[in-house]
Amino acid sequence: MIGPYSVNQMDDFYAALSRGEVKPTGIMNYVQRLFIAERCPAGAAVVDVCCGRGLQVPVLARYARHIGRYVGLDISPRNLEEARHRIADLDCSVGLGFPVDLIQCDVAVPWPDLAPFDVAVYTSALEHLPREQAMASLRNTCAALHPGGVMFLSTPNTPGPAPRPLQHRVHVYEWNSDELLPVLADCGFAVHDVVGLLPPVSADVPGVLSDEYGPAAARWYERMRQVVPEPFLGPVVASALPGCAAEVMYVCTRKLR
């Protein structure tokens, strides 16, 4: 903990894969980072809010070398030190293709004087801040974007009234869409898409798929369960069920006015 914030990090899925270990959250983590990288336009200035250990950078270096710059913000010196080592190793092995700046700061207070950004990455971190600080961080992120700039925000979608029982004990405050969507609008964002990242924990997935897409979708899911390992199938199924997914990504833009 640093102050009221949790600085626990999601598993390093790169390291896990090198050990032959595959977790659903690791696959989710990679999928969302690839989703973002594929949508970063050429020359984009990218800010990674609560960048942690820099897990977004290798995917950008592989699939979005055309971006203009990357700035990572994090409150934890230890996380940033790990990010620096990762980025240095990556630069030596494959080269980055874009300049990188890592800055220690509390994203819930006014940010350093940074140029406006085209893309904000805010993945699996909002739940590590108390509610009021999380809202402040969203307002700061919106202010740092050009009008029309894009934010990719992922966070658990936890049912029930606040304060909700936490899906993961290292979290501080978990949101759901009913609470978060009005907050995003109030902070200056327009939400254009909601993408499921982790499957619902207790829902009848075949039944939900059948209700949403017809009986053939349930048959497709049962066939996929026979041939696709669960850590890979989960994020694919979740992408079609954002309303009941355990974690979701909000694709937002800063409102023009």
Q: How many separate domains does the chain show?
A: 1
Q: What is the pLDDT of residues 177-193, one digit of tens each?
A: 999 999 999 999 999 99
165 and 172 Cβ atoms separated by less than 8 Å: no
Mean of pLDDT over the chain: 92
Does residue 229 form part of some domain?
Answer: no
Q: What is the pLDDT of residues 56-107, one digit of tens each?
A: 999 999 999 999 999 999 999 999 999 999 999 988 887 788 999 999 999 9
Does residue 6 form part of some domain?
Answer: no
How far CA 142 is from CA of 35, 57, 118, 159, 184, in Å, comes to 20, 22, 11, 26, 9
Does residue 153 form part of some domain?
Answer: yes
Asked if residue 202 has pLDDT above 70, the reply is: no
Asked if residue 36 has pLDDT above 90, the reply is: yes
Does residue 55 form part of some domain?
Answer: yes
Instruction: Check which CATH number belongs to the domain holding 156 and give it.
Output: 3.40.50.150
d(CA 145, CA 132): 21
Parent domain of 129? 13-198+240-254
Q: What angle do CA 22, 79, 54 make, to 5 degrees?
A: 60
d(CA 150, CA 97): 21
Nearest residue to 167 via CA among 211, 126, 201: 201
Question: Strand pairing partners for 120?
Answer: 47, 151
Question: Strand pairing partners for 45?
Answer: 69
Does residue 29 form part of some domain?
Answer: yes
Higher pLDDT, 22 or 135: 135
Percent of the chain beyond pLDDT 70?
100
Find the range with the poorest average confidence among 6-10, 15-19, 23-27, 150-154: 6-10
Does residue 2 form part of some domain?
Answer: no
Does residue 224 form part of some domain?
Answer: no
Does residue 244 form part of some domain?
Answer: yes
